[in-house]
């Protein structure tokens, strides 16, 4: 069965356009309460990022959940991974995050967690959608749910993050700039780093409901790069609006992306070598080759953290993620967590006595060229002989020194063309040639 509302990461869209409306959120709260908390007697937590529409949707979800007989614990502005953690430790049946992650303030969305802090599988999302199609029935007044605010939610999460850092180490002597993207980490990330001993300068920590992710955070690291160099800091940390992504900046102002961070975490000396790491179809080939040189396996999943998580579970591995900085460390927590991922990298720096720049030097990123070809109608890549012949020709030319990926976009009428290899000029030329062939095939 295809899902009506749920995408690869919950429900997301523009505020005011169905389904991101108060009316829908009211019904969604009721439906989710019936499925996840089994109605009367259940308990769920709600957290949100800092975008202005979060107030409205929090109230609507609260009304729907209480109508289903579910008690609610309100966390206020809180990173997505913090909601996963608090759902688990507060012994709730499920958790809800109101967030559109790295998107602008005009978007919003809903993510769910099970009571163990894991994201919902397809069959549970489908069960919620089935409830959405039913008339909304309130429980008797004597069974309506109640809501209360968890006043120490931030402090609980700060202590959890600190507990994921080796007890024998601290961050004394490190000068760190942290960019909170005017998002949900603004009141926790600086405290975690400061309490571990770092000297911290914070930017992007003055949310006003409208400035989340605006020219800041993991999607816009330019200000962070400037601050690190100007201040002579050891490194910078950039989180996104809901705190589940992180990228870093070394002391010379160069961005260290998710692939490089995963490589650093995987390469950390440990008693038992990691059996493998999960990336995605878009993960840089340089990371794959660098891990293989260390005897660490590598597997590619579809684009999206849910597919990374599925592959991790299938293989019994604990580390994976995407170049965007969505990194999953299952030996530390249950979902992608920007603060905890950053702490794993900082731990490697301190333990090895090496800079971020030195740690990433064991991996050489291969040049990538990405080109989008717009479609005017339906087009099947696999059935185009012209396209398949061009792909085969490009792959033969690259041999083992590169790769080609053509895939339809999941959200737009586009074919995405990616060519990657050791030789940047060759990569660019092959990508342009493939784009020309796809345009011809689409036109035909």
| Res 357: pLDDT | 98
| Res 378: pLDDT | 76
Burial class (CB in 10 A: 0-12, 13-18, 19+), 32: buried
Residues 201, 180 contacting (CB under 8 angstroms): no
**Residues paired with residue 211 on neighbouring β-strands, in sequence order:** none
- Which residue spans of the chain are classified as CATH 3.40.120.10? 11-151, 156-360
118 noted as active-site residue: no
Nearest to 20 by CA among 6, 34, 8, 32: 6
Q: How far apart are CA 340 and CA 48, in angstroms?
A: 19
Q: What are phi and psi of 426, to 5 degrees?
A: -65, -45
Structure token digits, residue 364: 């050489």
Beta-strand ranges (E) seen in 281-367 are: 297-301, 319-321, 327-329
Tell me how crowded residue 22 is: count the other CB atoms within 10 A of its CB: 15
Q: What is the CA radius of gyration of the chain?
A: 23
Q: How far apart are CA 187 and CA 50, in angstroms?
A: 11
pLDDT above 90 covers what percent of the chain? 88
| Res 40: pLDDT | 63
Q: What are phi and psi of 58, to 5 degrees?
A: -60, -45
Dmax (CA) for the chain in angstroms is 72
- Which residue spans of the chain are classified as CATH 3.30.310.50? 368-443
For residue 167, the number of C-alpha atoms closer than 13 Å in the C-beta half-sphere is: 3
| Res 414: pLDDT | 87
Q: Which pLDDT tens digit goes with each residue over 88-109?
A: 999 999 999 999 999 999 999 9
Structure token digits, residue 343: 């702490």
Residues 208, 181 contacting (CB under 8 angstroms): no
| Res 248: pLDDT | 98
Structure token digits, residue 262: 């995963």
| Res 195: pLDDT | 98
Helix (H) or strand (E) holding 89: helix 80-89
The pTM (predicted TM-score) of the whole model is: 0.93
Q: How far apart are CA 416 and CA 370, in angstroms?
A: 7
For residue 404, the number of C-alpha atoms closer than 13 Å in the C-beta half-sphere is: 24
Q: How far apart are CA 262 and CA 240, in angstroms?
A: 17
Residues 72, 213 contacting (CB under 8 angstroms): no
**pLDDT tens for each residue of the chain, 444 residues long:** 577 999 878 999 999 999 999 999 999 999 999 999 876 679 999 999 999 999 999 999 999 999 999 999 999 999 999 999 999 999 999 999 999 999 999 999 999 999 999 999 889 999 999 999 999 999 999 999 999 999 999 999 999 999 999 999 999 999 999 999 999 999 999 999 999 999 999 999 999 999 999 999 999 999 999 999 999 999 999 999 999 999 999 999 999 999 999 999 999 988 788 999 999 999 999 999 999 999 999 999 998 888 999 999 999 999 999 999 999 999 999 999 999 999 999 999 999 999 999 999 999 999 999 999 988 777 888 889 999 999 999 999 998 889 999 988 766 788 999 999 999 999 999 999 999 999 988 875
| Res 1: pLDDT | 53
String of b and e for 252-284 (b: at least 16 CB within 10 Å)? ebbbbbbbbbbbbbbbeeeeeebebbbbbebbb
Nearest to 26 by CA among 72, 52, 62, 78: 62
Options 99, 101, 283, 323, the catalytic residue: 101
Indicate the CATH number for domain 11-151.
3.40.120.10
- Three-state DSSP class for residue 272: coil
Q: Is the peptide bond before 406 cis (omega within 30 degrees of 0)?
A: no
Strand order in the sheet with 414-421: 368-374, 414-421, 402-408
CATH-assigned architecture of domain 156-360: 3-Layer(aba) Sandwich (3.40)
Structure token digits, residue 94: 């499920």
Q: How far apart are CA 38 and CA 33, in angstroms?
A: 6
Please give the CATH topology (third level) of the domain spanning 368-443.
TATA-Binding Protein (3.30.310)
Residue with tokens 């579970």: 313
For residue 226, the number of C-alpha atoms closer than 13 Å in the C-beta half-sphere is: 6
Residues 101, 183 contacting (CB under 8 angstroms): no
* Beta strands 199-203; 235-239: pairing state: unpaired
| Res 304: pLDDT | 85
């Amino acid at each position: 069965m295809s899902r009506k509302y749920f995408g690869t990461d919950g429900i997301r869209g523009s505020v005011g356009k169905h389904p991101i409306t108060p009316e829908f959120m009211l019904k969604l709260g009721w439906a989710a309460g019936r499925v996840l908390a089994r109605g009367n007697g259940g308990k769920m937590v709600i957290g949100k990022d800092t975008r202005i529409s979060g107030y409205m949707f929090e109230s609507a979800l609260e009304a729907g959940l209480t109508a289903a007989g579910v008690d609610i614990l309100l966390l206020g502005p809180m990173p997505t991974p913090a909601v996963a953690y608090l759902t688990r430790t507060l012994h709730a049946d499920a958790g809800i995050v109101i967030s559109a992650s790295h998107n602008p303030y005009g978007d919003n969305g809903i993510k769910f967690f099970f009571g163990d802090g894991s994201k919902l599988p397809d069959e549970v999302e489908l069960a919620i959608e089935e409830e959405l199609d039913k008339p909304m029935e309130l429980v008797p007044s004597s069974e309506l749910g109640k809501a209360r605010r968890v006043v120490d939610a931030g402090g609980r999460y700060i202590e959890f993050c600190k507990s994921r850092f080796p007890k024998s180490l601290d961050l004394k002597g490190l000068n760190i700039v942290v960019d909170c993207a005017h998002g949900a980490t603004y009141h926790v990330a600086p405290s975690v780093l400061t309490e571990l001993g770092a000297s911290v300068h914070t930017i992007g920590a003055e949310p006003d409901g409208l400035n989340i992710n605006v020219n800041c955070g993991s999607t816009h690291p330019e200000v962070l790069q400037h601050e690190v160099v100007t201040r002579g800091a050891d490194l910078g940390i950039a989180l996104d609006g809901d705190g589940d992504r992180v990228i870093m900046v070394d002391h010379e102002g160069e961005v260290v992306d998710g692939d490089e961070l995963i490589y650093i975490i995987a390469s950390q000396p440990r008693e038992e070598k990691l059996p493998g790491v999960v990336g995605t179809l878009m993960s840089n080939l340089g990371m794959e080759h660098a891990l293989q040189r260390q005897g660490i396996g590598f597997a590619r999943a579809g684009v999206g953290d849910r597919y990374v998580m599925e592959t991790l579970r299938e293989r019994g591995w604990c580390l994976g993620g995407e170049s965007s900085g969505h990194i999953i460390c299952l030996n530390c927590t249950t979902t992608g967590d920007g603060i905890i991922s950053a702490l794993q990298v900082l731990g490697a720096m301190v333990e090895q006595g090496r800079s971020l720049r030195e740690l990433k030097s064991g991996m050489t990123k291969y040049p990538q060229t990405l080109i989008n070809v717009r479609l005017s109608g339906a087009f099947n890549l696999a059935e185009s002989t012209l396209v398949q012949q061009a792909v085969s020709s490009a792959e033969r030319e690259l041999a083992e020194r590169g790769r080609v990926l053509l895939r339809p976009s999941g959200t737009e009428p586009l074919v995405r063309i990616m060519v990657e290899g050791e030789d940047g000029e060759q990569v660019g030329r092959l990508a342009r040639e493939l784009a020309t062939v796809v345009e011809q095939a689409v036109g035909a």
